[in-house]
């Protein structure tokens, strides 16, 4: 490797080590440093460019083509070290998460996909919504590439129907989402006028057999067993208990719990106040005693001192908020298993706690509009999707709506 590249690489490695020392635990530092030291040894006497050396080293330590996703967790840790180094070399701060090349679409419709994403931003959709829609659209565009469709004008009704048919194994709920997302893309400004058919009419007529999705609710007694399975003597136990309690008692979305601010908890007035991340709806919730004590336990015994305004932050280095792309569901599922709850043919994660609250309120005779208010739904139809399994209570609750004052 040339002297200039040597200096560039050495400086980048030292800068990254300083960043890691300030933001990661001792164990993580040891792992990352070992990988970086290995890179420096690997680069000795190598005349290739820095980029070529890093690319070759990535392939060697991950046994994966640069810069694809490695097959094991430890190999992905190695790969993450390299991604952080590449950020440093580019003059950027290392990211918390990295997107692998396999998620990047590079087919015939790259420009149309980019235009669609820009349009979604212009009409005010959230980043997570755009990301979800783009993933669905990329799959459709890859399908078109395999069919050797090279231009928007070549897309036919048969192509759309064939793609939807190829997704028949998915749940009816997800297939509805696919059809709505395709409709959004095919009626976007840069696409709609180039089609030979009316995509809005075609996709608005799609109906899928309802109620074939998994039940996602549990009884209060089952949820008590799940909560009791949490070891609250540990730091993580105190954390996940408070998080799950917020979902059980108030039906808060995982995203709203992640984004909960210190200022959202009004201790004197006994309220939780927040604007929901997904719907932008302001909600005010009573701070019940069980929730209050769980939150205080977390604040006193778990949460590290940090200027960050998020209520929940990682108790290990780095002391930062939980990732928006992370999921609590896999962690919640552990306690369903430990409590020996029958989860056959059921979902069992964070969202099931929200579903359970909606179902329990419905069983108690709470009007459907009131449940929609509790869950922060803009559209009552969304609430009905949550309570589809209890159709008898749903019919009764719907009859009560005219008497509900909306407060």
Q: What is the pLDDT of residues 34-75, one digit of tens each?
A: 999 999 888 888 778 888 888 889 888 988 877 777 888 888
Residues 17 and 310: beta-carbon distance below 8 Å: no
Tell me, what's the pLDDT at 309? Answer: 93
376-407 as b/e: b if 16+ CB within 10 A: bbeeeeebbbbbbbbeebbeebeeeeeeeeee
| Total residues belonging to the chain | 407
Number of H helices, E strands in the chain: 18, 3
The two tokens of residue 324 are: 């928006």
First-to-last alpha carbon distance for the chain, in angstroms, is: 71
Percent of the chain with pLDDT over 90: 31
Q: Which residue in 253, 303, 314, 393 is the catalytic one?
A: 253
Q: Which residue in 76, 278, 346, 347 is the catalytic one?
A: 278
Mean pLDDT, all residues of the chain = 80
The two tokens of residue 303 are: 């949460």
Higher-confidence residue of 210 and 356: namely 356
66 preceded by a cis bond (ω within 30 of 0):
no
Q: How far apart are CA 323 and CA 330, in angstroms?
A: 14
Higher-confidence residue of 66 and 152: namely 152
For every residue of 243-263, DSSP letters joined together read: HHHHHHHH---HHHHHT-BGG
Residues linked to residue 265 through DSSP beta bridges, in sequence order: 272
Q: Where are the beta strands (DSSP E) in 257-395?
A: 265-266, 271-275, 282-286
Q: How far apart are CA 104 and CA 393, in angstroms?
A: 46
Tell me, what's the pLDDT at 327? Answer: 62
Of 38, 34, 79, nearest to 58 (Cα)? 79
338-370 as b/e: b if 16+ CB within 10 A: ebebebeeebbbbbbbbbbbbbbbbbeebbbbb
CATH level 3 topology of 220-403: hpI Integrase; Chain A (1.10.443)
Tell me, what's the pLDDT at 352? Answer: 80
Active site residue 347: no
Q: What is the pLDDT of residues 255-278, one digit of tens each?
A: 889 999 999 999 999 999 999 887
Active site residue 253: yes
Q: Which residue in 57, 218, 241, 386 is the catalytic one?
A: 386
Q: How far apart are CA 239 and CA 253, in angstroms?
A: 16
Q: Which residue in 80, 133, 314, 377 is the catalytic one?
A: 377
CA dist 393 → 152, 210, 355, 359 (Å):
47, 17, 15, 9
Higher-confidence residue of 281 and 111: namely 111
Residue 34: count of CB within 10 angstroms of its CB: 11
Q: Which residue in 78, 258, 354, 384 is the catalytic one?
A: 354
- Of 123-132, 155-164, 346-355, which gets the smallest average pLDDT? 346-355
Q: Is the pLDDT of residue 403 over 50?
A: no
Q: What is the pLDDT of residues 322-345, one digit of tens each?
A: 876 556 777 888 898 899 988 887
Q: Is 283 left (phi over 0), alpha (psi -120 to 50) or beta?
A: beta
Q: Is the pLDDT of residue 131 over 70?
A: yes
Active site residue 317: no
How large is the average pLDDT for residues 15-44?
Answer: 88
Q: Which residue in 133, 303, 351, 393 is the catalytic one?
A: 351
Residues 6 and 48: beta-carbon distance below 8 Å: no
Tell me, what's the pLDDT at 404? Answer: 33
Tell me, what's the pLDDT at 392? Answer: 45
Active site residue 354: yes
- Cβ burial of 311 (10 Å; 0-12, 13-18, 19+) is buried
């Amino acid at each position: 490797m040339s002297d200039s590249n040597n200096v560039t690489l050495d400086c980048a490695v030292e800068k990254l080590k300083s960043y890691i020392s300030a933001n990661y635990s001792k164990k993580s530092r040891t792992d990352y440093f070992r990988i970086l030291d290995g890179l420096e040894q690997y680069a000795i006497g190598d005349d290739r460019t820095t980029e070529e050396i890093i690319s070759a080293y990535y392939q060697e330590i991950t046994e994966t083509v640069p810069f694809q996703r490695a097959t094991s967790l430890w190999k992905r840790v190695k790969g993450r070290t390299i991604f952080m180094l590449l950020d440093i070399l580019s003059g950027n701060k290392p990211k918390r998460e990295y997107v692998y090349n396999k998620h990047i679409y590079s087919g015939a419709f790259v420009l149309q996909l980019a235009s669609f994403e820009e349009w979604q931003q212009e009409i005010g959709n959230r980043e997570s919504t755009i990301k979800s829609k783009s993933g669905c659209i990329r799959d459709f565009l890859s399908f078109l590439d395999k069919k050797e469709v090279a231009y928007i004008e070549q897309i036919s009704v048969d192509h759309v129907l064939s793609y939807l048919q190829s997704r028949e194994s998915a749940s009816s709920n997800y297939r509805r989402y696919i059809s709505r997302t395709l409709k959004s893309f095919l009626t976007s400004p840069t696409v709609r006028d180039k089609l030979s058919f009316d995509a809005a009419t075609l996709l608005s007529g799609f109906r899928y057999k309802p109620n074939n999705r998994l039940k996602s609710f549990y009884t209060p007694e089952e949820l008590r067993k799940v909560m009791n399975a949490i070891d609250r003597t540990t730091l993580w136990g105190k954390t996940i208990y408070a998080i799950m309690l917020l979902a059980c008692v108030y039906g808060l979305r995982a995203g709203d719990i992640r984004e909960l601010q210190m200022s959202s908890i009004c201790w004197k007035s006994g309220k939780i106040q927040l604007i929901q991340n997904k719907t932008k709806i302001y909600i005010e919730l009573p701070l019940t005693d069980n929730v209050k004590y769980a939150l205080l336990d977390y604040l006193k015994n778990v949460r590290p001192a940090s200027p960050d305004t998020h209520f929940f932050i990682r108790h290990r280095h780095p002391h930062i908020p939980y990732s928006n792309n992370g999921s609590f569901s896999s962690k919640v599922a552990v306690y369903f298993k430990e409590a020996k709850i029958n989860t056959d043919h059921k979902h069992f994660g964070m969202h099931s706690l929200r579903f359970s609250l909606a179902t329990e309120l419905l069983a108690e005779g709470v009007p459907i509009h009131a449940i929609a208010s509790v869950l922060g739904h803009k559209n009552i139809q969304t609430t009905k999707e949550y309570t589809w399994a209890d159709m008898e209570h749903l019919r009764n609750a719907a009859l009560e709506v005219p008497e509900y004052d909306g407060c």
